[in-house]
Amino acid sequence: MRARLAHATAAAPRSAWPPQSRPQASWPRAWTCSSCARRPFASQQQQQQQQHMAAGDRKPYYITTPIFYVNAAPHVGHLYTLVLTDILKRWRVLKGETALMCTGTDEHGLKVQRASAKAGIDPQLFCDQGAALFKELAARALVSHDHFVRTTDADHKDAVAYAWFLLHEKGLIYTKKHEGWYSVADEAFYPPSAVQPHLDPPTGRKIMVSVETRSEVEWSSEENYHFRLSHFRGPLLQFYRENPEWITPAHRMKDVVHAVESGLEDLSISRPSERLAWGIRVPQDSSQTIYVWLDALINYVTKAGYPWAPGRDHAGGWPADCHVIGKDIVRFHCIYWPAFLMALGLPLPKRILTHAHWTLGGSKMSKSTGRVVDPFLALDRFGPDVMRCYLAHDGGIQDDGNYDNTQIIKLYNNLLWAQLGNLLSRVTRGKKWSVRGAIQRIGPLPASDWANDQGSEFHSTLLKFPSNVAESLDAHDPRRAIRIIADLIRSSNQYVQVSAPWQKILDYGPGEPGEEVDRIVYLAAEALRMAGILLQPYMPNKAKTMLDQLGVDDARRTFEYCAVGRDLHYGAPTVELGVKYEGALFPPLSSEE
């Protein structure tokens, strides 16, 4: 990444900012967005934001995915980003917070222009079809997004135009001739040090490629607008020093700091319209189209209501509490984006969670070679809950994860079916004990009563369990959290197996097997109840079924009730449990799997 990030030009002294030179275009002294000019009253989005603020006068938790290119069909990497973001959003809701999630599609740029031309259809229709696919993917994966932004939306175009106007007025945009190696696939220029010759095996062509991404680059020479990125080297480094945990994981933060320390060149932020026609034209200069990454990054504030009215800057959630992105777009989000925000006078996002990629058979997935996983087929085969659990459990934050159907089946058989489903069936379908009775008889006992009990060690485990999961999710680590939940499920099964309540039944009264059995059943039921609550962000449908079978009231499924003894009102199933595998939470996989 360092080769891609580093540039040779030294930054101007901080005292030189802002520069006094002005760009050549002639601007009006006032600016009004076209959609605002058409509507005299607050938009529906602004009204929703006002309602959020009125509900508690607090900034809602705001989390985003990157917006996805529509030049190709979704792959499992897109699904992973969506799921990670949705888990973190649902966690905040579980804690009782108002939370908003934004996702969407990036629909401008040369990639989309060329892809639509190759498909032989109008670019807008091409984008409509692509956006529909990503919306379908989100719906099929049970993603609870609140906003779906498209860069072809009118409100987004207005936000971009307004941002350009402000950058121009501050003297941060100028024109000059730009030459360099340009990658259409990455929508980025690269310095000579970041490209190398390559022989393309399928065609035998000698081409130049990016050292980091292996994408083909082409030499480009053109007159366009530039953003004074070099002026933000000092402010960026100061921000990184003051916020050392801004980027997760830490090693990617170090890469970004090293890149900015090495120097920043000013950034080309437009392309000639004769070459790039599909995009937002530069205001007051239709001969130029705004660079796709300046256009795309503004999406995060678009759905937060930008440009917002005075006093309403936090109503839509800005600053974002977390951007979730793949490691391949760190430069854009961790250098360009904060520089743009500083230039616009806007607060920076609070956290950037960067995740690793998925490999297939140990090799990087590639659309060009067809080595990709179709997320729709995966969701059809395993179901959304199982796929969400697998992606969170095996996906990489630090390092790449290797996608493998056999691992999904292994997770299903060894954890979901043999452990979680088995434990739930054992506890709720016991013929000689009553979960409800055990809760009524044992639940009111004080915590000190467990000190000398055989289940004291397991009771202590349950006491620590919710805070351990919460700590991981608050640290934006869904992988660690799901593994803590999985460990509890396994230890709960082991506790029931070793305790063997079926061997300790006292037959002196129906439904009253004796205190020792009641204690075992109660602790196992509590483990299931708390695990069910905390599995809701991961497996919304399966967690609901699980809590229904335990008879947990809908109002008591929040994190507030995720503690031993906090809820003593459950135990009577609200759905039919069925017999054997009928109604089982996780039935055995068919032989076809």
CA 511 to chain centre: 47
Taking each helix axis from N to C terminus, what angle separates 435-442 and 515-535, rounded to the nearest 10 degrees? 100
| CA–CA separation, 410 and 406 (whole Å) | 6
Yes or no: say if 488 and 495 are a contact pair by the CB < 8 Å rule. Answer: no
Single-letter amino acid code for the residue at 206: K
CB 102 within 8 A of CB 144: no
Among the listed residues 127, 168, 177, 172, the one whose alpha carbon sits nearest the alpha carbon of residue 279 = 127
Is the omega angle on the peptide bond into residue 319 within 30 degrees of 0, that is, cis?
yes
Contacts of 426 (CB under 8 A, 6+ apart): 496, 524
**DSSP H/E element including 76:** helix 76-94
- CATH class of the region 404-561: mainly alpha
Three-class SS of 361-386: CCEECECCCCECCCHHHHHHHHCHHH
- The 10s digit of each residue's pLDDT in 181-237 is 777 777 677 777 788 888 777 777 888 888 777 778 887 778 899 999 999 999 999
pTM, to two decimals: 0.86
What is the edge-to-edge ordering of all strands in the sheet holding 270-272? Answer: 270-272, 285-290, 281-282
Helix 456-474 / helix 515-535 crossing angle, nearest 10 deg:
10
Q: Which two tokens stand for residue 105?
A: 């599609």
Asked if residue 373 lies in contact with residue 403, where contact means CB atoms within 8 angstroms, the answer is: yes
Domain ranges of the chain: 2-379, 404-561
C-beta atoms surrounding 348 within 10 Å: 17
Task: Return the amino acid letter for 60.
Answer: P
**Alpha-carbon distance 317 to 100, whole Å?**
7
pLDDT tens, the chain, 593 aa long: 333 333 333 333 333 333 333 334 444 444 455 544 443 333 444 444 445 444 456 899 999 999 999 998 999 999 999 999 999 999 999 999 999 999 999 999 988 999 999 999 999 999 999 999 999 999 999 999 999 999 999 999 999 999 999 999 999 999 987 677 777 777 677 777 788 888 777 777 888 888 777 778 887 778 899 999 999 999 999 999 999 999 999 999 999 999 999 999 999 999 999 989 999 999 999 999 998 889 999 999 999 999 998 888 888 999 999 999 999 999 999 999 999 999 999 999 999 999 999 998 877 776 666 778 999 999 999 999 999 999 999 999 999 999 999 999 999 999 999 999 999 999 999 888 999 999 999 999 998 898 778 889 999 999 999 999 999 999 999 999 999 999 999 999 999 999 999 999 987 666 689 999 999 999 999 999 999 999 999 999 999 999 999 999 999 999 999 999 999 999 999 998 876 666 789 998 864 44
Return the percent helix, strand and coil in the chain, to nearest 5: 50, 15, 40
Angstrom distance (rounded) from CA 318 to CA 31 = 22
pLDDT of 113: 93
Which of 320, 354, 318 lies closest to 334, judged by CA?
Answer: 354
Cβ count within 10 A of residue 363: 10
Q: Backbone phi, then psi, for 164, in 5-degree steps? A: -60, -45
Contacts of 313 (CB under 8 A, 6+ apart): none
Rounded Cα distance, 582 and 127, in Å: 44
2-379 matches 404-561 in fold: no
CATH architecture entry for 2-379? 3-Layer(aba) Sandwich (3.40)
* Per-residue pLDDT tens digits for 442-461: 999 998 898 778 889 999 99
